[in-house]
């Protein structure tokens, strides 16, 4: 079922590594980021091992809708839906992607900074 043996997030999704799980169903899992970059920082991932958004196809449309609609629900649960939030996904070297299992960062709970290039 698309499990990658050496993948951290496959293991978290399978419950083989601990996490602070916020939501799970048959297809997706959401858990707290271990190094939060905002007051609220949640990672939402498909259970299926997809390395990054660079590997998505049109057939993944329903999966992506599922992830985004679940993000709305998580934002409501965390009471950040009224104050606003951001969804971000990194792909490849320049983005700084560190874990090569597709994940969406849901960030909020405080005013977020601008994004783009790092200083200098």
Q: How many residues bind Zn ion (CB under 5 A)?
A: 6
Name the token pair of 11. 């293991």
Closest approach, Cβ 18 to ligand AMP, in A, equals: 8
Q: CA–CA separation, 23 vs 46, rounded Å? A: 12
Q: Which residues pair with 107 in a beta bridge?
A: 41, 86
93 binds ligand AMP (CB under 6 A): no
What residues numbered 26-45 form the site for ligand AMP, per CB under 6 A?
33-35, 43
Name the token pair of 79. 């009471």
Q: Which of 88, 62, 85 is nearest to 73 (CA)?
A: 85
- Considering only 29, 47, 74, 97, the residue that binds ligand AMP (CB under 6 A) is 97
Give the number of other Cβ atoms within 10 Å of residue 21's Cβ: 13
- Considering only 7, 53, 87, 112, the residue that binds Zn ion (CB under 5 A) is 7
Q: How many residues bind ligand AMP (CB under 6 A)?
A: 11
103 binds Zn ion (CB under 5 A): no
């Amino acid at each position: 079922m698309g499990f990658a043996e050496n993948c951290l997030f496959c293991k978290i999704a399978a419950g083989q590594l601990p996490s602070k799980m916020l939501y799970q169903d048959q297809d997706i899992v959401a858990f707290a980021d271990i190094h939060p970059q905002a007051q609220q920082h949640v990672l939402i991932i498909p259970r299926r091992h997809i390395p990054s958004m660079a590997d998505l196809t049109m057939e993944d449309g329903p999966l992506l809708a599922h992830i985004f609609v679940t993000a709305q629900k998580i934002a409501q649960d965390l009471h950040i839906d009224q104050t606003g939030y951001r969804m971000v996904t990194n792909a490849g070297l320049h983005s700084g992607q560190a874990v090569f299992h597709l994940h969406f960062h849901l960030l909020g709970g405080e005013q977020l900074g601008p994004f783009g290039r790092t200083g200098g």
